[in-house]
């Protein structure tokens, strides 16, 4: 084999690996359902936005309110978010979800790591709540890894066996009893609006939009490279 053949083989193999590596390492695209209001796993109810006024508890120095009057319920039938899942890390894309009564709940792209240590912050969900009356509220919900369900699917957990997930949190992040002022922006102005969210549903694999041409080119390059090597 001459030097030209060796150089060509090395180039083709390098190019093939460059093309195929992202396809092999890519996370699994998923569809994430947001199910209409229902109650499961004891008292965990989803999917609603509620006032953060009741069910007070202090966990890991974090002041949390599990309940309050339901202010918004996610509209049925089941709606979906899109994203990808790598192990216990769920990445969600920007999305717009309908609420009962004509309100809209827009969420920003987020990363939620269900594998963090107990008491740690799983992640946050930035939101824009457009009320049917025209008011626009902007804020974030925060989720912590606390086992609230006695070993069942945690209130902030990913149940890989069943493909279910739970998200439960408040729209502030603070120390005990330090209820914040100005934790949201309403119609462009700082305001105080204490909210909680219960969100749940299932995670299912979505069709993978593979770049077929790139995949075939990579495989073809490997075949050609193998042929050069045999020569």
Instruction: Looking at the structure, tell me whether residues 223 and 173 fall in a common domain.
Output: no
**At residue 102, does pLDDT exceed 70?**
yes
Residue 10's domain comprises: 3-24+210-230
Report residue 75 as tokens: 């509209």
Report residue 81 as tokens: 């978010």
Instruction: Looking at the structure, tell me whether residues 16 and 124 fall in a common domain.
Output: no
For residue 61, which of 117, 115, 118, 119 has the smallest C-alpha distance?
Answer: 119
Tell me the HSE value of 71 on the side-chain side, using a 13 A CA sphere.
19
Tell me the HSE value of 208 on the side-chain side, using a 13 A CA sphere.
11
Instruction: Looking at the structure, tell me whether residues 190 and 221 fall in a common domain.
Output: no
> What percent of the chain lies above the pLDDT cut of 90?
46
Q: How far apart are CA 114 and CA 32, in angstroms?
A: 15
Instruction: Looking at the structure, tell me whether residues 154 and 101 fall in a common domain.
Output: yes
> Between 228 and 162, where is the model more confident?
162
Instruction: Looking at the structure, tell me whether residues 88 and 147 fall in a common domain.
Output: yes
pLDDT mean across residues, the chain: 79
- Residue 97's Cα: distance from chain center in Å? 14
Instruction: Looking at the structure, tell me whether residues 46 and 104 fall in a common domain.
Output: yes
Instruction: Looking at the structure, tell me whether residues 97 and 120 fall in a common domain.
Output: yes
Instruction: Looking at the structure, tell me whether residues 163 and 101 fall in a common domain.
Output: yes
3-class DSSP string for 72-89: EEECCCCEEEEEEEECCE
Look at the chain and report how many structural domains it folds into: 2
**At residue 91, does pLDDT exceed 90?**
yes
Instruction: Looking at the structure, tell me whether residues 135 and 226 fall in a common domain.
Output: no
Instruction: Looking at the structure, tell me whether residues 143 and 185 fall in a common domain.
Output: yes
Instruction: Looking at the structure, tell me whether residues 44 and 10 fall in a common domain.
Output: no
> Does residue 53 have a cis bond before it (omega within 30 degrees)?
no
Instruction: Looking at the structure, tell me whether residues 200 and 215 fall in a common domain.
Output: no
For the stretch 140-166, pLDDT in tens is 999 998 876 655 677 788 887 778 888
For the stretch 159-215, pLDDT in tens is 877 788 889 999 998 766 677 889 999 999 999 999 999 998 899 987 655 554 443
Q: How far apart are CA 196 and CA 50, in angstroms?
A: 5
């Amino acid at each position: 084999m001459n030097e030209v053949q060796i150089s060509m083989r090395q180039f083709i193999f390098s190019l093939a690996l460059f093309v195929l590596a992202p396809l092999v390492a890519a996370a699994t695209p998923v569809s994430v359902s947001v199910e209409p209001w229902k109650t499961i796993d004891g008292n965990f109810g989803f999917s609603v936005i509620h006032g953060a006024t009741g069910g007070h508890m202090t966990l890991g120095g974090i002041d949390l309110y599990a309940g309050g009057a339901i202010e918004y319920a996610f509209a049925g039938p089941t709606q979906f978010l899109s994203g990808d899942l790598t192990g216990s890390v769920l990445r969600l894309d920007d999305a717009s979800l309908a609420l009962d009564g004509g309100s809209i709940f827009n969420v920003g792209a987020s990363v939620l790591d269900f594998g963090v240590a107990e008491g740690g912050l799983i992640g946050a969900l930035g939101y824009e709540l457009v009320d049917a009356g025209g008011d626009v509220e902007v804020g974030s919900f925060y989720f912590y890894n606390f086992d609230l369900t006695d070993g069942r699917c945690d209130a902030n957990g990913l149940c890989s066996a069943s493909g279910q997930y739970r998200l439960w949190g408040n729209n502030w992040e603070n120390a005990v009893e330090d209820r914040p002022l100005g934790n949201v922006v309403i119609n462009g102005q700082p305001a105080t609006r204490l909210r909680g969210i219960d969100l749940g549903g299932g995670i299912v694999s979505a069709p993978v939009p593979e770049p077929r041409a790139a995949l075939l080119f990579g495989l073809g390059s490997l075949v050609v490279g193998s042929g050069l090597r045999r020569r």
